[in-house]
Amino acid sequence: MSNIQGKVVIITGASSGIGEATAKELASKGAKLVLAARREDRLKKLQEEIQKNGGQAIYKVTDVTSYEQMEELADYALKEFGKIDVLVNNAGVMPLSPVYQKKINEWDTMIDVNIKGVLYGIAAVLPSKRERKEGHIINVSSIAGHLVFPASSVYSGTKFAVRAITEGLRKEEFINNIRTTIISPGAVATELIEAISDLELKAKIVEESKVAIDPASIARAIAFAIEQPSDVAINEMIIRPTIQEL
Ligand code: NDP
């Protein structure tokens, strides 16, 4: 039997891309899913598809930038399924731009979603995991959490932060038998680049993204981390397209 069978997994950013693919992968392996994002129509459609294929999923419309909503999400999972085994902090945005353009609102959104959203997710699920002395927190960083390139200063800053927060959490919580995993994807074919408001830069990134791999590739890596025996922690993974240089 798969070590994913019966696990309760919250996935943020489940309405598209990597989150959606992860939900489908884990549902096919018997996880009980709690899907979260802002677009309800997408969550509902995904829930229906999972259920049609014999899987289990519930959803809750959630904005990860609200700590209150993240607590409500964790409470909902506990009420419906009685426990939370895994949180996949996947929601993220990437409106790349060079600093001189001063796209302050976009910086604020990246910091709110990519950093605060991850912290709020951790804060919402940690008490029940500490109590059970068991659990797994998976945070999606990026290759941009390892490397910085022009126009990625703020985005990379948020993704370096995700790695720092996850490693800090590991050092604090290993003693409570809580596993942490950092997932750092390279180019993946999703809606992420749509948010780039500088059209010239967007065209360049679209061109570079021609090598992008299917989000199911990242979903399989996440499933691999979850399905290890509980005394084995896959702490970090980089998953790139084979032909990506960066
Ligand atoms: P998508 O744009 O397809 O998915 C992003 C998800 O985040 C959506 O489901 C969106 O849902 C959700 N989201 C955004 N803002 C919020 C918010 N405030 N509250 C709740 N959910 C939110 O992109 P990806 O699947 O590619 O992105 C997933 C993660 O992977 C991100 O953290 C990204 O940084 C990371 N990543 C992606 C790479 C790629 O090449 N695609 C490479 C490296 C890392 P909704 O709008 O419905 O709320």
Question: What are 82-130's pLDDT values in tens digits?
Answer: 999 999 999 999 999 999 999 999 999 999 999 999 999 999 999 999 9
For the segment 7-12, the average pLDDT, to the nearest whole number, is: 98
Pocket of ligand 1 (CB under 6 A): 12-13, 15-19, 37-39, 42, 62-65, 90-94, 113, 140, 142, 185, 187-188, 190-192, 215
Nearest to 84 by CA among 28, 14, 137: 137
Q: Band of the pLDDT at 1, cuts 50, 70, 90?
A: low
Query: Residue 129: which H helix or E strand, with range?
Result: helix 117-132
**Which residues, in sequence order, are CB contacts of 2 under 8 Å at separation 6+?**
29, 30, 227
Rounded to the nearest 10 degrees, what angle do helices 117-132 and 153-173 cross at? 10
**Is pLDDT of 173 > 90?**
yes
Which one from 59, 100, 120, 155 is the annotated catalytic residue?
Answer: 155
Residue 67 annotated as catalytic? no
Paired tokens of 77: 């999972």
Domains and CATH numbers, the chain: 8-230 (3.40.50.720)
Atom of ligand 1 nearest to the CA of 62: 20
Nearest to 88 by CA among 107, 64, 111: 64
Paired tokens of 228: 């290890």
